[in-house]
Structure 1
Amino acid sequence: MKIEPQSVVSLTYDLYVNQEDGTEGLVESATQEQPLTFLYGVGQMLPKFEEHLSTLSTGDDYEFRLSAEDAYGQYDEEAVANLPKEMFNGNDLPEIGSTLPLQDNEGHHFQGQVVSIAEDSVIVDLNHPMAGQALHFKGNILNVRPATPEELSHGHAHGPDGHHHH
Structure 2
Amino acid sequence: MAKMINGQSEVLMHFSICLADGFAVDSSKVNNKPAKFVMGDGSLTPGFEACLLGLKEGQSETFTLAPESAFGLPDPDNIHYLELTKFSADVPAEIGSIITFTQPDGSDIPGIIRDVVGDSVTVDFNHPLAGQTLTFSVDVLEVLN
**Same topology, TM > 0.5:** yes
Q: What residue number does 1:24 align with? A: 22
CA displacement at 1:90 relative to structure 2: 6.8
1:108-147 to 2 correspondences below 5 Å: 108-146=107-145
Separation in structure 1 between the aligned mates of residue 90 and residue 136 of structure 2, nearest angstrom: 40
Residue aligned with 2:141, SS? strand
Q: Is the 8 A contact 1:7 1:39 kept in 2?
A: yes
CA displacement at 1:6 relative to structure 2: 3.1
Separation in structure 2 between the aligned mates of residue 51 and residue 121 of structure 1, nearest angstrom: 41
Separation in structure 2 between the aligned mates of residue 42 and residue 27 of structure 1, nearest angstrom: 23
Point out the more displaced range, 83-92 or 125-134: 83-92
Amino acid at match of 1:11: M
Q: What residue number does 1:13 align with? A: 15
Q: What residue number does 2:6 align with? A: 4
Render the CA deviation track for 1:79-114: whole Å, top value 9, x for unaligned. 321111222367563321111111333444211111
Residue ranges of structure 2 left out of the alignment (5+ in a row):
none
Aligned residues: 142
Residue ranges of structure 1 left out of the alignment (5+ in a row):
147-166
Following superposition, which runs of at least 4 residues in structure 1 exceed 4 angstroms of deviation? Answer: 89-92
Render the CA deviation track for 1:33-59: whole Å, top value 9, x for unaligned. 311111122222111111111111110
> Which structure has the bigger radius of gyration?
1
Q: What residue number does 2:59 align with? A: 60
Q: What residue number does 1:76 align with? A: 75
Q: What RMSD, in angstroms, separates the aligned Cα atoms of the two structures?
A: 2.0
Residue aligned with 1:52, SS? helix
Amino acid at match of 1:28: D
Separation in structure 1 between the aligned mates of residue 91 and residue 135 of structure 2, nearest angstrom: 38
Cα gap change, 1:143/1:90 in structure 2, threshold over 3 Å: closer, same or farther? closer
Q: Is the 8 A contact 1:4 1:41 kept in 2?
A: no
Percent of residue pairs bearing the same amino acid type: 32
Amino acid at match of 1:41: G
Q: Is the 8 A contact 2:28 2:35 kept in 1?
A: yes
